Amino acid sequence: MHVLYIVGQSTGGLPHYAAELANSVANSAEVTVFKPTETSADDLFCDDIELVNAFDPIGISMPGLYKLDINPLNIFRGLYSYSAVKEIEQYDPDVIHDSTGIFPQVKFFAKLHDVDDYPFVTTRHEVPVSRFSLARPPVLIEEILNLTIPALDEDRTVVHTKRQKEVLVSRGFDADGVVVIPHGAYSVFGGVEDIDREPEENTLLFFGNIVPPKGLDILVDAVEILRETIPDVNLIIAGDGQLPSGVRKTIERYPDNFEVHRRFIPNDEVKEFFARTTVVVMPYRDQSGTKGHSGVLSTAFSFGKPVVASTASEFPEQVEDEGCGLVVPPENPTRLASALETVLRDESARSEMSQNCVRMSEQLSWDSVAQQYLDVYSALVGAHESGGKQAVLRTP
């Protein structure tokens, strides 16, 4: 079987997902990846994969969108470059999979060039309950653009949780066409067995893009409270984006409690940040959506790091119910500070949480995830060979 993946984004964590999945599927199938010439995961794809640098980088990042730091010409060039999906026919795949979410440019050119005549699979990592919420302008823009593009025939849509599936079915997706496959625990950055140092005492980690929905300002306020009972608490902030003015002022007021790395973190530096930390913190705001999973959470699982998160999205089930940490209501610095103090002061509880994180990383291994995808691919290819394309839903 020949699987061809489309990578619809050059920055952020989605290329990492594409690389992890493609690497594992390549153990059992022929794999080709159509991707931008530069992505955040270029050094992670294995040698068994045929990489095709088909697209230009779009030049859009989530922090850049919030800062309006965009170059219209580069964006247009990047978007238009996805017309190269017409070259997929030359590779004659058995199944096509956009594992990075069906971005508007992929949807448009895939439909224009009849790429969806092949068995076609998409993975949706985040499913907003309200498609047109003003709370997240980038998502709103994407949803509006999708309304202007003809529907794409999908044979299967993959989501990460049952709640995400329920939302799609409520929108009119055929329940039989939506498959739940959990997000794998990232292994490309290493794992708990690769850490050869003890964590730094009372050290917290905020990792990833610095954008309003991630709630860094809430965490900084919590640290200001927490330092009254744990004076040497240290928050490492590692990610690209703009620090809100209030956050900057607090950091300047208490420099001994904060360490800031405001930049994109290369893949080879990820392990060191997680190795140093005692607790990973995810203080996300409730955006009335179903995130399904988080790359930061899956990385915390891989490194066996306890997590304190908000109750936004599916974090209660993924973190607290699995014994991997604690969750608190969103946008509540006092409750967040209390939960962090509880975890930092209880070494026995942290040890148990760490073991549960490792257990989760084993359950969410990419070999397991890849096999579930391979089962989907095989069923579609069999149906296609016996009776032609059997699309069961159309992308709205």
User: Mind listing the pLDDT tens digit for each residue in 234-262?
Assistant: 999 999 999 999 999 999 999 999 999 99
* Model confidence band, residue 361 (pLDDT cutoffs 50, 70, 90): very high
- Look at residues 196, 223, 221, 229 and name the one whose alpha carbon lies nearest to residue 279: 223
Sequence spans of domains, the chain: 2-184+365-395, 192-363
The predicted pLDDT at position 138 comes to 61
At 316 the three-state DSSP class reads: helix
The predicted pLDDT at position 59 comes to 64
Do the Cβ atoms of 186 and 145 come closer than 8 Å?
Answer: no
CA 216, distance to chain mean position in Å, is: 18
CATH topology assigned to domain 2-184+365-395: Rossmann fold (3.40.50)
Of the ranges 5-9, 55-59, 99-103, 123-127, which is most confident? 5-9
Q: In which element (H, E) is residue 275 found?
A: helix 267-276
* Model confidence band, residue 17 (pLDDT cutoffs 50, 70, 90): very high
Rounded Cα–Cα distance for residues 336 and 328 (Å): 6
The predicted pLDDT at position 386 comes to 77
> pLDDT per residue over 344-359, tens digit each?
999 999 999 999 999 9
Query: Which of 292 and 331 is assigned the larger pLDDT?
Result: 331
> Cα torsion for 38, 239, 105, 2, to the nearest 10°?
60
pLDDT of 52 higher than 90: yes
pLDDT of 211 higher than 70: yes
* Residue 75 C-beta-side C-alpha neighbours within 13 Å: 10
* Model confidence band, residue 313 (pLDDT cutoffs 50, 70, 90): confident
Rounded Cα–Cα distance for residues 168 and 178 (Å): 8
- Look at residues 218, 310, 235, 216 and name the one whose alpha carbon lies nearest to residue 273: 235
Do the Cβ atoms of 44 and 267 come closer than 8 Å?
Answer: yes
For residues 187-212, b (16+ Cβ closer than 10 Å) or e, as one string?
Answer: bbbbbbeebeeebeebbbbbbbbbbb
Rounded Cα–Cα distance for residues 106 and 92 (Å): 18
Identical topology for domains 2-184+365-395 and 192-363: yes
Instruction: Considering the domain delimited by 192-363, tell me its CATH architecture.
Output: 3-Layer(aba) Sandwich (3.40)
The predicted pLDDT at position 189 comes to 94
Query: Which of 81 and 127 is assigned the larger pLDDT?
Result: 81
